[in-house]
Amino acid sequence: MWKLLRIELFKIFKRPRTYIAFGAIAAVVLLFQIGMKFDGKTYLDLVLNNVSDSFEVTDEFKSKLLNGYFICFAILNILLIQMPLLVALIAGDSIAGEANMGTLRLSLTKPVSRTQYMLVKFMASIIYTLLLLIWLAILALFGSMFIFGTNSLVIFRSEVIEQMNSYDVLWRYVAAFGYAAVALTTVSALAFLLSVFAENSIGPIIATMSIVIVLTILSEFNIPLYDNTVKPYLFTTHMVAWKGFFYVQADADNKTIDGTIQNLPAILRSLGILVIYIVGFVGSAIWIFKKKDILT
């Protein structure tokens, strides 16, 4: 199994297209950091515009606000919505790409079971997803910490301001990146399932993105009819639950309590639903692939 996984990773990282996603992430993060370095105050004015009526925002507060943790949170908000596309590039290609190249039939004449073959393919796409997130963490979190320094993290929700002490932030990022890994693996699993049906990788990649976009829009609908009947069961509803790690509990004086999360059971429930989706998608992919005649 390990030998097959090494082969799969070798194949993935020998392809130039693999590095598109790494390049895209680097470009977005660096452009955002450059913008924030030279025009961060204006950006903050825009963000604070909505809350300045309720809170007094001093220049000192603003300068504290613009730190590495805040920049990383802003980047994650932007990128974690786009990253499914980057993940689908590899997962959607995993089986369909081999079918398209004609290497699928040669690979399946080797003494490797189809289940093993599929599991290795999926594991490789998980590793690729993890490496993308590590790359994002290096650039967005550690890069921003290096450029902008660290301070308390303040984030703005519709009517709430969450403030976390500097020493209480890093573990939240570790948890958030871990959660994002599971969320992106769900997309990866969907692309992987669709890849079984196709003979070129464009189809599964576009189909995955279309499904993610439609379901994300549905998850965002504020229509009571969907709130309890549809939204709780959509994986896209649960993909954004990583933000929950930055929602902290407050004491009677409305001061944040270090090391707390407002609603951990909700995060765990969302995590569980994503895992069920992953198992469902991958299980279906293997079941279908085992029965499939290879005609390409």
Contact set with other proteins (CB under 8 A): 3-4, 7, 10-11, 14-16, 101-103, 105-113, 291, 293-295
Q: What backbone phi and psi angles, to 5 degrees, belong to 164?
A: -125, 140
Neighbours of 109 (CB within 10 A): 9
Least Å from the CB of residue 206 to other proteins: 23
| CA–CA dist 96, 103 (Å, integer) | 10
Nearer to other proteins among residue 102 and residue 259 (C-beta): 102
SS3 156: strand
- When the beta carbons of 63 and 113 are compared against other proteins, the nearer one is 113
- Closest to other proteins by CB, 56 or 293: 293
Q: In sequence order, what are the beta bridge partners of 156?
A: 161
**18-48 vs 114-136: helix axis angle to the nearest 10?**
40
CB of 14 to other proteins, least distance (A): 6
Greatest pairwise CA separation for the chain in angstroms? 70
Name, in order, each residue with C-beta under 8 angstroms of 253's C-beta and a sequence gap of 6 or more. none
Nearer to other proteins, 16 or 265 (CB): 16
Q: Under a CB-based contact definition with an 8 Å cutoff, are residues 69 and 263 in contact?
A: no
> Which residue number, 68 or 97, has a Cβ lying nearer to other proteins?
97
State whether residue 51 is helix, strand or coil: coil
Residues with Cβ within 8 Å of residue 44, at least 6 apart in sequence: 62, 65, 66
> Closest separation between CB of residue 103 and other proteins, Å?
6
- Name the residue among 68, 264, 83, 48 with its Cα closest to residue 188: 83
Q: Report in angstroms how near the CB of residue 10 gets to other proteins at its nearest.
A: 7
Nearer to other proteins, 98 or 137 (CB): 98
CA 267 to chain centre: 15
What does R_g of the chain's alpha carbons equal in angstroms?
21
Q: How far is the CB of 75 from other proteins (least distance, A)?
A: 32
Two tokens, residue 150: 């660290």
Beta carbon of residue 125, minimum distance to other proteins (angstroms, whole number): 17
For other proteins, the closer of residues 15 and 37 by Cβ is 15
Provide the 3-class DSSP secondary structure of residue 250. strand
Choose between 106 and 217: whose C-beta lies nearer to other proteins: 106
Angle at 46 between CA 44 and CA 49, to 5 degrees: 105
CB of 294 to other proteins, least distance (A): 4
The least distance separating other proteins from the CB of residue 89, rounded to whole angstroms, comes to 15
